[in-house]
Amino acid sequence: MNPFFEPILFPKNASDSTGLLSALFAGGSGPLPATPVPGHGGSITATAEGYDSDFQATVDLSWTAAKDDLTPASALTYQVYYSTNASDIYVNTPADLAEVGNPYGSAQAAMTNSSVSGLPANTIYYFNVLVSDTDGNQAIYNGSGIKTSSPDTTQPVPGNNGGLTFTPSSTYSQVTKSSMTLSWVAATDNVTSQANLTYQVFYYSDNSVMGTVNSILTNAISAGSAQAGITQFTVTGLYANAWYYFAVVVTDEAGNAWVYVNNFGGGNASKTQPGAAYMFDSLSSVSGDLGSRSNVNTICSNRKASLSGINYTWKASCNAYAFVSMPDGTWISGYLVPSIPSTYMILGSQGTMIASNPTQLLSGTIQNTIRSAIPEYTSGSGYWTFATATGGYASADSCSSATSNSSSVSGRIGLPDSLNSYWMDFSINGEGAASGATCDTGRTILCICF
């Protein structure tokens, strides 16, 4: 095909005809070059895609392949040019386009589309394509202009007004502890498809950090990495019988985020199962003159207050009592254990099983030692209990009814490394005799929270 040619001027006299025929048939300048012809009339389709912080604005270009008399379609090469000036793109010749246009990437064979990225937002750009054959002949398409996209600054809209559904697990494992399954309705977004919206679950011990998206991302505990397209997630590793506040952060491809929390400031809390009471160490060492039930309970209440709400989430769901049999009749067996719901597990401060229920506490054996179940316990001299093996009151071994700190008087203690009854009742000399644990020695007491 020869779309461009010079008109042939026939000779006015016979003497000039020889030169003409020679030029046409005897070698002259030979066949005129075959120029590629852009497909579909040379039109280019330009589509403004989204905007993101990494690639800025992107424009997708597409065109129909050119044709050429001599060069196969697979060997034709295409070079994209762009500019913010229309005069650089809407030109008359390939040479003009190559001179004033800005090339994007390199020329590629058989290319019929290209994505031009890294463009500023909200700006009109003009595009054209130069096609070349293997002989160096070139042609240009017609060019196209389009305005690039603006940054997406609109947050996703959580489904069902951001409502969350909570399903606590009724089982407990010392490895995974308790779990809570959250479910929600998928969000929508003005740019990002539902399949590409990501969701990340967060939780915390109270609602103080759930007020804003930034506060949740900065301060709350992440239950896992963000995942695309999910509408359900199970959070494991939670304390049993504890209140947690949950939030699900949904994020679009531009980084805009919003939150499922039912309501900011409240309503997004749920309590784990099953029920449990927790034992912990008072840390403070006191001699045997413990005084009254009110005094020892205050020691435990103060210790509970000092525990981190983040690391000991269960503290918000219970009241603390001293695990001691006191002379006023508030014994472990008659005052404490009967007050604990019969289905409650007895766990250490960090969730390790001590007893499967309150009854087992008085059975003479426990499942894990106090030292292993309560990692904060560091004393080597035991803890005051003033208790018998069944949780009663060891009156003969009670530091004179919790009034003496004398080295000549003894009080019943428990041993932190024992699984048998000695964990609560170190009655080495018998129930009716002194144990030899002198009342002048500072020892901790155990606390139980339910």
d(Cα 418, Cα 368) in Å, to the nearest integer? 8
Residue 291 belongs to what H/E stretch?
none
220, 121: one domain? no
- For every residue of 194-216, DSSP letters joined together read GGG-EEEEEEESSGGG-SSHHHH
421, 297: one domain? yes
Is 20 a member of any domain?
no
For the record, the structure tokens of 33 come out as: 């070059």
Is 12 a member of any domain?
no
Residue 98 belongs to what H/E stretch?
helix 94-100
pLDDT in tens, the chain (450 residues): 333 323 333 334 444 433 333 333 334 344 445 689 998 899 999 999 988 777 899 999 999 999 999 999 999 999 999 999 999 999 999 999 999 999 999 999 999 999 999 999 999 999 999 999 999 999 999 999 999 999 999 999 999 999 999 999 999 998 899 999 999 999 999 999 999 999 999 999 888 888 889 999 999 999 999 999 999 999 999 999 999 999 999 999 989 999 998 654 445 789 999 999 999 999 989 999 999 999 999 999 999 999 999 899 999 999 999 999 999 999 999 999 999 999 999 999 999 999 999 999 999 999 999 999 999 998 888 999 999 999 999 999 999 999 999 999 999 999 999 999 999 999 888 787 788 899 999 999 999 999
Domain count, the chain: 3
CB 393 within 8 A of CB 401: no
Terminus-to-terminus CA distance in the chain, angstroms? 93
240, 290: one domain? no
Dihedral through CA 101, CA 106, CA 108, CA 111, nearest 10? -60
d(Cα 161, Cα 163) in Å, to the nearest integer? 6
Residue 23 belongs to what H/E stretch?
helix 17-25
> Which residue, 251, 271, 291, sits at the end of a domain?
271
Nearest alpha-carbon partner for 178 in 223, 233, 238, 224: 238
What pLDDT shows up at residue 5?
26
100: which residues sit within 8 A by CB, 6+ positions away?
A: 83, 87, 88, 91
> Which residue, 122, 147, 172, sits at the end of a domain?
147
Model pTM score: 0.72
**For residue 341, cis peptide bond before it (omega within 30 degrees of 0):** no
Is 33 a member of any domain?
no
* Residue numbers of the domain that contains 417: 276-449
For the record, the structure tokens of 108 come out as: 């590629």
Is 80 a member of any domain?
yes
CB 286 within 8 A of CB 294: no
265, 281: one domain? no
Report which residue type is found at 181. T
Report which residue type is found at 366. I
Taking residue 254's Cβ as centre, other Cβ atoms within 10 Å add up to 20
303, 402: one domain? yes
What region, left, alpha or beta, does residue 75 occupy, with left being phi > 0 and alpha being psi -120 to 50 degrees?
A: alpha
CB 67 within 8 A of CB 109: no
248, 373: one domain? no
What pLDDT shows up at residue 343?
96
Is 440 a member of any domain?
yes
> Which residue, 98, 116, 147, sits at the end of a domain?
147
For the record, the structure tokens of 174 come out as: 């010392």
227, 333: one domain? no
Nearest alpha-carbon partner for 162 in 190, 142, 184: 184
291, 349: one domain? yes
Is 30 a member of any domain?
no
Dihedral through CA 134, CA 139, CA 142, CA 146, nearest 10? 50
Cβ neighbourhood burial of 126 (10 Å; 0-12, 13-18, 19+): buried
399, 311: one domain? yes
d(Cα 450, Cα 446) in Å, to the nearest integer? 14
Is 167 a member of any domain?
yes
What region, left, alpha or beta, does residue 217 occupy, with left being phi > 0 and alpha being psi -120 to 50 degrees?
A: alpha
198, 236: one domain? yes
265, 290: one domain? no
What pLDDT shows up at residue 7?
32
**Total count of residues recorded for the chain:** 450
223, 238: one domain? yes
What pLDDT shows up at residue 211?
82
d(Cα 349, Cα 178) in Å, to the nearest integer? 14
d(Cα 268, Cα 203) in Å, to the nearest integer? 10
Side by side, the strands of the sheet bearing 232-238 are 165-168, 178-183, 232-238
What pLDDT shows up at residue 428?
83
d(Cα 301, Cα 315) in Å, to the nearest integer? 10
- CA dihedral over 390, 396, 398, 402, signed as positive or negative: positive
d(Cα 210, Cα 113) in Å, to the nearest integer? 47
CATH number of the domain to which 104 belongs = 2.60.40.10
Is 108 a member of any domain?
yes
CB 35 within 8 A of CB 130: no
CATH number of the domain to which 294 belongs = 3.10.100.10
